[in-house]
Amino acid sequence: MKKTDGVAVRSNVRLNSIHVTVILIVVLFVIGQGVLNGFASIRNISNIIAFACVIALVAVSQLFVMVVGSDGNDLSVGAIMSMSALLFADICRNEVARIPFALACVLLLGVVVELINFSGIAFLKISPMIMTMVMGTVVNGFNYFYTRGIVSGSIPKPIMLLGRQIVGPFKTIVFVVAVILVLAYCFLRRLKTGKKMYLVGSNENAARLCGIRTEWVKLAAFLMSGVAAVLAGIMLLGLSGAAILKMGDGYVMMSIAAAVIGGVKNGEGRVFGCFLGAVIIQTLSNLLIAANLPDSLQILLNGIVLMLILSSFARKPRLQS
Amino acid sequence: MSQLLKAKWFPSVVLVIFFLIWNGFFVKGFYSAASFRYFLNVLVPLACIAIGVTVTVICGGIDLSTGALVCVINCSFVVLMERGLGLGAAIAVSMLAALVVGVVNGFFVAVVRINPLLVTFAMQTICTGLALWIRPNASGSGNPEFIRWYGSGTVLGIPTSVLFFTIVPLVIWYLIKRTPMGYWLYAVGKDERKSFETGINTVAVQFFAYIFSACMTGWAAIAFSGNIVGGDPKAGLSFTMNAIAASVVGGAALSGGEGDPIGGVLGALFVQLAIYAVLGAKVSTYVEELSNGLIVLLGIVGMMAYSVLKNRKRSRL
């Protein structure tokens, strides 16, 4: 009985936070239109949504790790994204027939990285953020070693199509990511493993006593996170049209911000919330570009925004209560 | 002797001795006076940061902003001297800036109550932007007098770099440890709620830990500026991870309440020796980034595995 109450209250709160995020997006667009004429044009909106799709995918990868709890964020997603983009371009070498093979390779590598992450966290009790941060550096080092600093290969046409407009004002990537997000939603809400992730995140001991094998559920969450990060890397490759070393690094911070805005916590979090959070973050960084700020100030302001977002969404309860 | 064997940082002593011997054999001219002095000069900033990071770990937190803060202070230190400020004034202003960063970190961790990993991660982004804003590209020449003093000066036979940037911070820490604040740091790290209930001002203790860490980082950044000569907005970024690895290898428990800055210094020695060992093996430059990452990973993984096995043995008895 108590449990259903909890869910009802929580879904109320979520509804509110989604309203707030939508209002925030509209406000940002109004400000943007004030700063630069044409900010709220269809063309710019389509551009913002295309890049927000990449962030949303990384945020979903973050969601998997955050939902199963233990205060974890995944800081290696950026390096995994870069790895998947670089290796995908390198293996494909402009041949369409090699796409499935390249996809399998990068997916495998992404899963292996997350497997190592999980082993360190589960067996050696290394805190998730430190383990994933160190793994991120190792993966970036691997990327440099593998490519020797020079990116070879080129991007096959079907992947380049992701950044083009085919139907309506939206780029192809929007539809592809929409399908992936729906699949992630179905996994989390309809499949047993996905539902168990929320249970493990909200109360690990209770979940274990219910007979859920919590370690396996956590492992599944990490592997799914790796898959989402790899797909995000390929989306970014298609959208930007070139593979660059460390191209995914900036997305770590954005994905955490997007997931936190989307209401992701231990045992809570929605895929749609992540998408809205991603739109906010991308609109904001687009706004900073429109305001013609130098790179350094953009990074600085992004950091300040993340700090403010954390102070309003991710506070711990007070000790006195 | 038995106390030494029991110390949490004992494994790092073994690692350090191993690598000191290894490097003597396989790194050409490692023990020649000039190159060993250079090794110490490179090591010192890392050791100084590791002292600060270990204190935040003892207090149950972590500091991910150290590397980016080193960049900020390095750039501001060089820029201030280029604008005509004297050495002392430039150091004072830079340390003040580090203090401000520490206060902001402490505020968001202790008062706003956000996970310290996230707070210092956001601070890392802010500092990265700040460093790039102060100095977009690596340039500048620094103060030649300071660089000579840092690089080759000695006091009573001890290199100035080691004396002022590692021994002095350690002495300061041991003085702090004797005050109530020393006990409070360990208590808050062990159990925040219980410490609060026994009447410890947990907010003040956490504030102190982050301010101490930021000041140590600022101090290390000044040493770093004596080492790399100019101002570079990206050169210090690797300190974040190396310092965390150093304090973990030095026996600090990431769950809080355990650790000793001397372990952090030994851990820093291990990380730097291992990096030298790889450099001495004359591997291609493409492997360097990967191998440095692997050293940090293996250091952390090895130490955590060691403590897991040790606890298991104890619980069996």
Mean pLDDT check: name the lowest of A21-30, A208-217, B136-145, B176-185: B136-145
Distance, in Å, from the CA atom of B26 to the CA atom of B23, rounded to the nearest integer, reads 5
Residue A1's pLDDT band, with cuts at 50, 70 and 90, is very low
Residue of B103, B79, B94 whose CA lies nearest to B219? B94
Domain span at residue A103 reads 24-33+42-151+169-313
B 214-243 residues with CB < 8 A to A:
241
- Span B25-63, pLDDT tens digits: 777 777 787 788 888 888 999 999 999 999 999 988 888
What would the pLDDT profile of B124-160 be if each residue is shown by its tens digit? 989 999 998 988 887 777 777 778 777 777 788 778 7
Could you give the C-alpha distances from A170 to A43, A165, A173, A218, B64, in angstroms and in order? 9, 6, 8, 36, 39
Tens-place pLDDT, residues B286-309: 888 888 888 888 888 888 888 888
Give per-residue pLDDT as tens, A80-93: 999 998 888 888 87
Judged by a CB distance cut-off of 8 A, whether residue A315 touches chain B is yes
Nearest C-alpha of chain A: how many angstroms from B98?
16
Q: B278: distance to nearest CA of chain A, Å?
A: 14
Give the per-residue pLDDT at A7: 44
- Cα angle B212-A133-B259, degrees, rounded to a multiple of 5: 40
Whole-structure pTM value: 0.86
Q: What is the mean pLDDT of chain B?
A: 85
User: The tokens of A298 are what?
Assistant: 């953009």
pLDDT of amino acid A14: 47
* Residues β-bridged to residue B155: B158
Which segments of chain A does DSSP mark as H helices, in order? 2-35, 42-67, 77-92, 99-124, 128-147, 157-160, 172-189, 192-202, 204-209, 214-240, 250-261, 271-290, 295-313
The confidence band for A54, taking pLDDT boundaries of 50, 70 and 90, is very high
Touching B: A residues 240-259, CB under 8 Å: 253, 256
**Is residue A2 assigned to a domain?**
no
Portion 89-118 of A in contact with B at CB < 8 A: none
* Interatomic CA distance for residues A197 and A208, integer angstroms: 12
Of residues B57 and A293, more confidence is placed in B57
Q: Which amino acid is at B262?
A: I
d(CA B156, nearest CA chain A) in Å: 40
Which among B66, B109, B120, B125 is the top mutation candidate for probing chain A, defined by the most A β-carbons within 10 Å of its own β-carbon? B125
Residue A16 has a pLDDT of 58
Residue A318, domain member (yes or no): no
Q: What is the mean pLDDT of residues A231-237?
A: 90
User: Which domain CATH number covers A75?
Assistant: 1.10.3470
A132 to chain B: closest CA residue: B297
What is the share, in percent, of chain A residues with pLDDT greater than 90?
17
Of A144, A145, A311, the CB nearest to B114: A311
Give the residue from B39, B13, B49 showing the smallest Cα distance to B279.
Answer: B39
| Contact between B113 and A318 using a beta-carbon 8 Å cutoff | yes
Please identify which residue in the block is written with the tokens 């969450």: A221
- The reported pLDDT for the residue numbered A197 is 87
**Contact assignment for B114 to A120 by CB distance below 8 Å:** no
- Judge whether A200 lies within some domain: yes
In a domain, A70, yes or no: yes
Other CB atoms within 10 A of residue B307 CB: 18
| Contacts of B93 by beta carbon, 8 Å cutoff, 6+ apart | B76, B80, B85
CB contact under 8 A, B255 and A303: no
Least confident span in A159-168, A281-290, B156-165: A159-168
Which class does domain B9-316 fall in? mainly alpha
Beta-bridge partners for B231:
B139
Q: Specify the DSSP class assigned to residue B110.
A: I
Q: Domain residues of chain B, as ranges?
A: 9-316
Answer for the pair B254, A124: CB distance below 8 angstroms, yes or no. Answer: no
Q: How confident is the model at residue A285 (pLDDT cuts 50, 70, 90)?
A: confident
Let me know if residue A319 belongs to a domain.
no
Give the pLDDT of residue A89: 85
Across the interface, whether the CB atoms of A319 and B193 are under 8 A apart is answered yes
Dihedral pair phi/psi, residue B114, rounded to 5°:
-115, 155
Question: Residue A13: inside a domain, yes or no?
Answer: no
Q: Quick one: average pLDDT of B75-95?
A: 86
Q: Does A296 touch chain B (CB under 8 A)?
A: yes
Number of domains in chain A: 1
**Residue A273, in any domain of the structure:** yes
Contact A296 B122 (CB under 8 A): no
How many angstroms separate the CA atoms of B116 and B109, rounded? 6
